[in-house]
Amino acid sequence: MSITQEIAKLRDEINFHLYRYHVLDSPVVSDAEYDALFRQLQALEAENPDLVTADSPTQRVGGNPIDEFEKVSHPAPILSLANAFNRDDLKEWEERTHRFINQLDLEFDPETEQIEYVVEPKIDGLTVVLTYENGRFVLGATRGNGEIGENITGNLLTLPALPKRIPIDPQAEVTVPDRLVVRGEAFFPLDKFESWNSGRAEAGEKAYMNPRNAASGSLRQLDPKITAARPLTLFCYDIIAWDGAVPDTQWERLQWLKALGFPISDDIAFCATIEEAAAQYDSWLEKRNQINYEVDGIVVKINNRSLADQLGFVGKDPRGAIAGKFPAQEKTTQLLDVKISVGRTGILAPGAVLDPVELGGVVVRNATLHNFDEIARKDIRIGDRVWVKRAGDVIPYVVGPIVDLRDGSERVISPPTHCPFCGEPVVRIPGEVAVYCDNPTCPEQLVRRIEYFVSRGAMDIDNFGGQTAVLLTGNGMIKDLADIYFLNRDNLLELEGFKDKKVDNLLNGIEASKNQPAHRFLTALGVRFVGSVVARTLLDAFGGIDRLGEATVEEIEGVYGIGPEIAQSVNVWFQDERHRQLLEKFRAAGLPFDQESAAEEQSQVLAGLTFVITGTLPTLSRDEAKALIEANGGKVTGSVSKKTDFLLLGEKAGSKLTKAEKLGVPTLSEAEFQEKISG
């Protein structure tokens, strides 16, 4: 293939992806994959400048507007930016800036004047261009191809965050130009997107793959009533055109826009040097998953707008700003197979086996599919090209399939009818999405149950880890949970790596666990929906495990704080003859059944401390965490303030984390929280 043909092929491929992204709102490659194709074309054109054409994707921005909307010409090009991918790229950009300043006859002396910067979040939404005349909003448009966009004024008017007239505050001492054109980004807050998108799925409507596609689709509805029903918001960050005077620096322009009433991100930062801007890049890498909107990078702008404008452009990219792109958190790959695992409560969880893909600096081979209902709802099939996402330390998950790339060879994924580990028929509880193996002697499930039983939050058995659980179940020494208390010292010494000291430490840890209170023992049994707080609540009410086992569903549900699901689960567990036999074996081993005989005094380890809870905790519900804090003498409030001592932090934390960081409030993971209580 000749260079000319290779360039033509790349242009066709990039144009196709631009069409999928900007026109159909249905991309089939990730941003990182598109960026790689774009950089490849840029490199080839740089080596062969005589082959550069005016219609190359490198010479324009975005894609053509769709036909349903009136076309709108922008007063100035609405451009995108060149990319940097690390600190070194940002510093190289500054060095290039200095070279251009020296080459051009600019009204700027780098020897006596310092280049300052403004860092802004690169929000992953839909770019909008807003026109105001005599203080009134008169026109709103999409970016389109950078020169011509689509008139979406009626849809933008439905956004509560959009100022319909400026200034918002009539008392504000700020002059409004006769004409002002502002650039912004419309987007979904993540918490509202998740609840809204779930509602669509429950109503049988097609769910959106991500907030960016949802924002684009919402603002390009022909009926503004549809847009109005969606929780969109807006940030503004640039001035495109104006009549009259505007501030000379980017930082002052943002503050000026804010004074007029435009929504401006609270996460912008002024940086005196490029080193400070690079530090912002590193900081954003850490907090990108802790804010309530999606970002795929930062934008670093020269604060002196006159200097930025004088630097001009290279191709389609202004030299006065650059995008610091983050490592991709979302890519496409092939779903090769589905592997089922079983948890300690018997839930059979489907997991995706993927064609390995690099994602956020990690090679991902496996991802969660959540549950079989979710698979059916999204119509995910083996063999599909799928979107995979990994945000921070969260386990990678399959977002959904790219249906348009199917060739007919894909296979539908059906829920199992029998446990793949023990062969027992599966159980599906009405009203629940999970599929269960209800066999307490299931070998794979037993390992998970042992791991939980011996864990810090349950019986807290020292020197008993997951590898020990696998070894002792594999050789038949442990066939059920109670066998832990009947392990034989001589048999343990025959195992490879088990010397006198190791065996004694293990057996001493097991013996010491018999002194745990009865509610810790109940917690360790792994009854569905019964964590540490619920276990203590139940035994405080019934006095012991035997009385709880005899209680009816109605009696259990009559305990304050216990709902019908918990009551039903507890009653069903105790009615199972296999569980009754297991309890008798535990009784023979000397485990505590009577709450009063082993009750602990109420801990005051958290006395005087105020907590706020945010996000989804790994094992505790919000109510359980609150009860646990209060049971240990602490206090829980709903909002972060200077009086907050700790923020208890789960996944998908939102604005509370941002506020805590600003106020210097320390955070605790659930594991750290449990250690604090036990300590």
Q: Cis before residue 430, ω within 30 degrees of 0?
A: no
Contacts 24+ apart (CB under 8 A), 364-369: 364/333, 364/388, 364/390, 364/396, 366/339, 366/396, 367/395, 367/396, 367/397, 367/398, 368/395, 368/396, 368/397, 368/398, 369/338, 369/397, 369/398, 369/413
pLDDT (0 to 100) of residue 676: 84
Could you tell me the end-to-end alpha-carbon distance of the chain, in angstroms, rounded to an integer? 68
* Residues 619, 504 within the same domain: no
Tokens coding 165: 């007239």
pLDDT (0 to 100) of residue 601: 47
Low-confidence residues of the chain, pLDDT below 70?
19, 22-25, 54-55, 60-67, 392-394, 596-603, 679
- Distance CA(375)–CA(429), nearest Å, equals 18
Q: Where are the beta strands (DSSP E) in 109-202?
A: 117-123, 126-133, 136-142, 148-150, 179-187
- Distance CA(237)–CA(250), nearest Å, equals 9
Alpha carbon of residue 5 to chain centroid: 41
* Residues 591, 622 within the same domain: no
pLDDT (0 to 100) of residue 598: 37
Report DSSP state, residue 485.
Answer: G
Tokens coding 678: 């036990």
Express each pLDDT in 319-348 by its tens digit.
Answer: 999 999 998 888 999 999 999 999 888 899
* Residues 262, 286 within the same domain: yes
The dihedrals phi and psi of 325, each to the nearest 5 degrees, come to -80, 140
pLDDT (0 to 100) of residue 64: 60
- Distance CA(141)–CA(159), nearest Å, equals 14
pLDDT (0 to 100) of residue 597: 41
Tokens coding 410: 């894909």
Q: What type of residue sits at position 154?
A: G
pLDDT (0 to 100) of residue 252: 96
In a domain, 584, yes or no: yes
**Count of domains observed in the chain:** 6
* Residues 335, 385 within the same domain: yes
Express each pLDDT in 590-621 by its tens digit.
Answer: 999 998 543 344 567 888 899 999 888 877 77
Question: 397 with 368: CB under 8 angstroms?
Answer: yes
* Residues 116, 53 within the same domain: no
With CA atoms as reference, report the closest residue to 447 among 477, 490, 426, 405: 477
* Residues 124, 228 within the same domain: yes
CATH number of the domain within which 539 lies? 1.10.150.20
* Residues 368, 311 within the same domain: no
CA dihedral angle for residue 363, residue 365, residue 370, residue 374, rounded to 10 degrees: 110
* Residues 90, 143 within the same domain: yes
Domain boundary among 266, 293, 325: 325
Domain that holds residue 542: 518-598
* Residues 387, 484 within the same domain: no
Domain boundary among 598, 633, 666: 598
Q: Catalytic: 258?
A: no
Question: 509 with 461: CB under 8 angstroms?
Answer: yes
* Residues 396, 279 within the same domain: no
Among residues 9, 71, 91, 122, the one annotated as catalytic is 122
pTM of the model: 0.65
pLDDT (0 to 100) of residue 67: 64
Domain boundary among 463, 497, 515: 515
DSSP output for 50-72: GG--TTSGGGS-S-PPPTTS-EE
With CA atoms as reference, report the closest residue to 557 among 542, 578, 576: 542
- Distance CA(107)–CA(101), nearest Å, equals 9
pLDDT (0 to 100) of residue 165: 87
* Residues 204, 318 within the same domain: yes
* Residues 572, 614 within the same domain: no
In a domain, 166, yes or no: yes
pLDDT (0 to 100) of residue 600: 45
In a domain, 293, yes or no: yes
